[in-house]
């Protein structure tokens, strides 16, 4: 018999969504310590819902809990970004291909794209972009696939927030979104999937360029030493 998930108490859910929003909109930056008493005062609740919310956020990968250092917003580095985006590359294009083949309604994706274009700030734009991607993959016809992508959705948004803070490239990504949606609306499932794959891959490559190959560096170093001796 399948166990029924225990619903999260309303106060915990309220705090959870509040902390998540502040993280994904850059108000709480990566590495920032999350102190229970401060968060409880901010949200006007006791420490209990804050503690439970932080445990849930740790499970989704947005925060890290350390026995000695406490709780902090997860730090984004190149390895973390590539891991998250690798999962998206494996799953999201296929989900979108299935969505288009099913001729699912894409009104929500269109609306999210309009909200992104009209956004007044990066935070609002980031939230709209998340909804755009989700509106494309969620109607794929496989609820498990949708849930798997939902699990990395917040981490992907954290990567985007950090990358945008360093290099605001949203105009380029907005153009890519429009092309993905255009292909999807014309029924070109393979074209939409390919465009989405390129969109995801190019973003992480731009934001976190691959470093030099250690093996190549070693060979170059040996060559330099050999040249010096000669």
61: left (phi over 0), alpha (psi -120 to 50) or beta: left
Rounded CA-CA distance 121/224 in Å is: 49
CA angle 182, 187, 189 (to 5 degrees): 95
Count of residues making up the chain: 230
pLDDT of residue 198: 96
Phi, psi of 74 (to 5 degrees): -60, 135
pTM exceeds 0.85, yes or no:
no
Give the residue carrying structure tokens 């299935």.
98
CATH numbers and ranges of domains, the chain = 10-73 (1.10.10.10), 78-207 (1.20.120.530)
Sites in the chain below the pLDDT cut of 70: 1-9, 211-230
pLDDT of residue 160: 83
């Amino acid at each position: 018999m399948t166990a029924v998930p225990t619903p999260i108490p309303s106060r915990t859910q309220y705090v959870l969504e509040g902390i998540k929003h502040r993280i994904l909109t850059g108000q709480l930056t990566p590495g920032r310590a999350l102190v229970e008493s401060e968060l409880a005062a901010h949200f006007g609740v006791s420490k209990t819902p804050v503690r439970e919310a932080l445990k849930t956020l740790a499970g989704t990968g947005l925060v890290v809990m350390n026995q000695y250092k406490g709780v902090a917003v997860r730090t984004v580095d190149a390895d973390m970004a590539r891991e998250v985006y690798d999962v998206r590359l494996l799953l999201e294009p296929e989900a979108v291909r299935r969505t288009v083949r099913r001729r699912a309604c894409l009104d929500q994706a269109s609306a999210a794209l309009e909200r992104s274009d009209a956004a007044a700030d990066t935070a609002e734009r980031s939230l709209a972009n998340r909804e755009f991607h989700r509106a494309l993959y969620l109607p794929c016809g496989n609820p498990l696939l949708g849930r798997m992508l939902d699990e990395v959705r917040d981490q992907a948004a954290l990567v985007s927030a950090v990358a945008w803070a360093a290099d605001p490239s949203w105009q380029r990504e907005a153009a890519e979104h429009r092309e993905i949606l255009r292909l999807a609306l014309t029924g070109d499932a393979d074209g939409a999937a390919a465009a989405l794959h390129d969109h995801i891959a190019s973003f992480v490559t731009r934001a976190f360029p691959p470093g030099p190959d250690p093996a190549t560096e070693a060979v170059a170093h040996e060559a330099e030493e050999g040249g010096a001796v000669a």
